[in-house]
Amino acid sequence: MQTDTLVDILHEVPALKRLGHEQVLQLADAASTLQYTPGDLILREGHRSQNLWIVLEGCCEVVRCRDAADDLVLAELERHDLFGEMSFFHDAPHSASVRAKTAVWLLRIEKTQFDELVKNECWGAYELTQQVAESMADRLRQMDQWVAELLRQNGTSPDKAEWSNFRDNLFTGWNL
């Protein structure tokens, strides 16, 4: 694919909306595009890789393995959605798998390439980091709402010791 075409497509991605043409060009040069067919595994739960992905075309599923025959679909990712960001910024195993639901075309930014952009003071890398942080904050806020709603639906308050343990585990190491 020609760089000009990819840059035009990347200008449409909301996470890159605040970037100028030069910054998008730098990200495009540092990234690669990959295609997958339906059912292909892109990320495997429990494995490690540090790539940030953007869906350019198609649809993926985020799944958690319950057993060999039954996966729990957590989310669907569509055009312009990002994934892989937790492992990208924090070198830890993937918390879920991502597989292609349809034929997909993805942009992949490898952590080593991203680190080079940061080292070279590419403003686009900083803006992308800001956008990813905002997206993760939105997801965490939504998760808080879901947990509160689940507790309300059960009609019972959680066991105080269990809830205290949950909070302690969740906030360990945070400087709030």
Other Cβ atoms less than 10 A from the Cβ of 6: the count is 19
Of the pLDDT bands very low, low, confident and very high (cuts 50, 70, 90), residue 145 is confident
**Residue 130, token pair as written in the block:** 């800001």
How many CA atoms, within 13 angstroms, populate the side-chain half-sphere of residue 166?
8
> What is the rounded (10 degree) CA torsion for 151, 155, 157, 163?
-30
- CA-CA distance, 27 to 72, in Å (whole number)? 33
pLDDT at 117: 93
pLDDT digits (tens, 9 = 90+) for 78-136: 999 999 999 999 999 999 999 999 999 999 999 999 999 999 998 889 888 998 898 88
Helices vs. strands in the chain: H and E counts, helices first: 6, 8
Kindly report the CA angle at 78 between 18 and 84, in degrees rounded to 5?
Answer: 70
Of the pLDDT bands very low, low, confident and very high (cuts 50, 70, 90), residue 4 is low
For tokens 């009609």, name the residue: 155
- CA-CA distance, 40 to 50, in Å (whole number)? 19
- pTM for the whole thing? 0.81
pLDDT at 167: 66
Closest of 93, 94, 130, 87 to residue 109, by C-alpha: 87
pLDDT at 3: 58
pLDDT at 176 over 60: no
**91 DSSP 8-state letter:** -
2.70.170.10, 2.60.120.10, 3.40.50.720, 3.90.1150.10: CATH of 3-124 = 2.60.120.10
pLDDT at 5: 83
